[in-house]
Amino acid sequence: MEEKRLFLLLTLAHVVVTGNDTRRNVLFMIADDLRTTLGCYGDSVVLSPNIDQLASHSHVFLNAFAQQAVCAPSRTSLLTSRRPDTTRLYDFKSYWRTHAGNYSTLPQYFKESGYYTKSIGKVFHPGVASNHSDDFPYSWSVPAYHPASFSFEKKKMCRGADGQLHSNLLCAVDVSQQPMATLPDIESTDEALTFIKSRRSRHQPFFLALGFHKPHIPFRIPQEFLSLYPLEHMSLAPDPDVPERLPLVAYNPWTDVRLREDVQKLNVSFPFGPIPKHFQLRIRQHYLSSVSFLDAQVGRLLSALELMGLDQNTTVVFTSDHGWSLGEHGEWAKYSNFDVATRVPLMFYVPGVTAKTIRGKRFQFIDVFGPERTFNNGQESQSLVELLDVFPTLAHLSGLKVPEPCPESSFQVALCSEGTNRAHDFIHQEEKINKEQIAFSQYPRPSDTPQEDSDLPDLKDIRVMGYSLRSWDYRFCLWLGFDPRTFQLNVSDVHAGELYVLDSDPGEDHNIYDPSVDTGAIGTLTLPLDLSLRERLRLLYLRLIKTLRKT
Cβ-Cβ contacts under 8 Å for 421 (sequence gap 6 or more)? 389, 392, 393, 395, 396, 402
* Residue 216: band (very low, low, confident or very high) from pLDDT cuts 50, 70, 90: very high
Cβ-Cβ contacts under 8 Å for 376 (sequence gap 6 or more)? 56
Integer CA distances (angstroms), 529 to 344, 534, 536, in order: 33, 12, 8
Q: What is the mean pLDDT of residues 392-412?
A: 95
Q: Report how far residue 216's alpha carbon sits from residue 289's, in angstroms, rounded to the nearest whole number.
A: 12
What average pLDDT does the structure give for the chain? 90
Q: What is the mean pLDDT of residues 386-399?
A: 97
The three-point CA angle 233-236-241 to 5° equals 170
In this predicted structure, which of 19-33, 147-161, 319-333, 519-533 has the lowest mean pLDDT? 519-533
Asked if pLDDT for residue 453 goes beyond 50, the answer is yes
Pairing of strands 59-65, 116-121: unpaired
* Residue 362: band (very low, low, confident or very high) from pLDDT cuts 50, 70, 90: confident
Q: Report how far residue 137's alpha carbon sits from residue 148's, in angstroms, rounded to the nearest whole number.
A: 21
At residue 525, the pLDDT reads 41
Chain-centre distance of CA 140, in angstroms? 21
Q: What is the mean pLDDT of residues 214-240?
A: 97
Q: Report how far residue 520's alpha carbon sits from residue 502's, in angstroms, rounded to the nearest whole number.
A: 25
- Identity of residue 209: A
pLDDT in tens, 67-89: 999 999 999 999 999 999 999 99
Q: Report how far residue 483's alpha carbon sits from residue 312's, in angstroms, rounded to the nearest whole number.
A: 51
Cβ-Cβ contacts under 8 Å for 369 (sequence gap 6 or more)? 224, 228
Q: What is the mean pLDDT of residues 458-467?
A: 97
Annotated catalytic residue: which of 40, 71, 171, 406? 71
**Residue 534 φ/ψ, nearest 5 degrees:** -65, -35
Asked if pLDDT for residue 18 goes beyond 50, the answer is no
Q: What is the mean pLDDT of residues 120-149?
A: 98
Q: Which of 453, 519, 479 is nearest to 337 (CA)?
A: 479
Q: What is the mean pLDDT of residues 501-529?
A: 71
In this predicted structure, which of 157-161, 365-369, 518-522 has the lowest mean pLDDT? 518-522
* Residue 520: band (very low, low, confident or very high) from pLDDT cuts 50, 70, 90: very low
Helices 277-307 and 184-198: crossing angle in degrees, nearest 10, is 10
At residue 73, the pLDDT reads 98
In this predicted structure, which of 5-9, 310-314, 363-367, 501-505 has the lowest mean pLDDT? 5-9
Q: What is the sign, positive or negative, of the torsion defined by CA atoms of 350, 351, 355, 360?
A: positive
At residue 97, the pLDDT reads 98
Q: Identify the residue with better confidence: 255 or 20.
A: 255
At residue 19, the pLDDT reads 34
Q: Identify the residue with better confidence: 479 or 549.
A: 479
At residue 14, the pLDDT reads 46
pLDDT in tens, 22-31: 689 999 999 9
Asked if pLDDT for residue 238 goes beyond 50, the answer is yes
At residue 272, the pLDDT reads 95
Q: Report how far residue 312's alpha carbon sits from residue 360's, in angstroms, rounded to the nearest whole number.
A: 10
At residue 371, the pLDDT reads 76
Q: What is the mean pLDDT of residues 278-301?
A: 98
- Predicted model pTM: 0.94
**Does residue 477 have an active-site annotation?**
no
**Does residue 132 have an active-site annotation?**
no
Q: Report how far residue 172's alpha carbon sits from residue 327's, in angstroms, rounded to the nearest whole number.
A: 20
Contact status, residue 250 vs residue 335, Cβ threshold 8 Å: no
**Residue 464 φ/ψ, nearest 5 degrees:** -140, 140
Asked if pLDDT for residue 186 goes beyond 80, the answer is yes
Q: Which of 316, 320, 308 is nearest to 353 (CA)?
A: 316
Measure the CA dihedral 400/404/409/415, to 10°: -20
Q: In order of start, what are the domains of the chain with their CATH numbers?
A: 2-16+24-427 (3.40.720.10), 439-550 (no CATH)
Chain-centre distance of CA 136, in angstroms? 22
At residue 247, the pLDDT reads 97
At residue 521, the pLDDT reads 39
Annotated catalytic residue: which of 59, 125, 396, 495? 125
Cβ-Cβ contacts under 8 Å for 56 (sequence gap 6 or more)? 40, 375, 376, 377, 378
Q: What is the mean pLDDT of residues 162-191?
A: 96
